[in-house]
Amino acid sequence: MWINTNTTEQLIQGVLRYGPDILEYCQTPDDIQKYISRIVEERLDYPVPNTEIDASNWFIPREYRDMDIEEYCINQCKTDEELERVALELKLFQDNNMIPVLKAMKYIVDTLRANNVIWGVGRGSSVASYVLHIIGVHKINSIKYNIPIAEFFKEA
């Protein structure tokens, strides 16, 4: 395999930032840099617009719409490190008006689990969020693997 210790980190960062499709287009270490450069040049790394989310008409049960998702996430923490990370991420979710999205994701995950539906272990930059890990969206512990939350919340 062409991956060595120097390019492994670059590949991981590329997959986290630009998705697993980078593997389809990259056959050599040089391909990774060319692919990332093309994306940057063509400005394909769009920031998520900061818009107000109206979740009032979302079809999710009231118990999920009314739940205190922040308290739920905090209660899942077992260490001070986890508490600090969750507090930081919840602030970022609040700042980006995404708390309703967390509630909807919790409902979706609980529904999948209750119906024995299998979903992926994680994809793209979502694995950088420890809060999404706690909710059950993915199985990657971003604290354990030292994945910075900046991979998920990119600056505009």
Percent of the chain with pLDDT over 70: 67
Cβ atoms 91, 152 nearer than 8 A: no
Summarize the confidence of residues 146-155 as an average pLDDT: 85
Task: Provide the sign of the torsion angle of the four alpha carbons 132, 142, 151, 93, taken in this order.
Answer: positive
Q: What is the DSSP letter of 79?
A: S
pLDDT tens digit string along 90-128?
Answer: 999 999 889 999 999 999 999 999 999 988 888 888 999
Residue bearing the bigger pLDDT, 36 or 50: 36
Residue bearing the bigger pLDDT, 34 or 104: 104
10 Å Cβ neighbour count for 153?
A: 20
pLDDT of residue 16: 59
10 Å Cβ neighbour count for 129?
A: 25
Judge residue 69's burial from the number of C-beta atoms within 10 Å of its C-beta, 0-12 exposed, 13-18 middle, 19 or more buried: buried
Give every CB contact of residue 100 below 8 A, 6+ residues apart in sequence: 53, 55, 58, 65
pLDDT of 72 > 60? The answer is yes
pLDDT of residue 52: 66
Residue bearing the bigger pLDDT, 122 or 71: 71
Summarize the confidence of residues 58-81 as an average pLDDT: 94
pLDDT of 17 > 70? The answer is no
pLDDT of 15 > 70? The answer is no
**Cα–Cα distance, 145 to 29 (Å, whole number):** 23
pLDDT tens digit string along 39-51?
Answer: 656 655 445 445 5
pLDDT of residue 81: 97
pLDDT of residue 25: 63
Task: Provide the sign of the torsion angle of the four alpha carbons 62, 65, 68, 72, taken in this order.
Answer: positive
Average pLDDT of the chain? Answer: 80
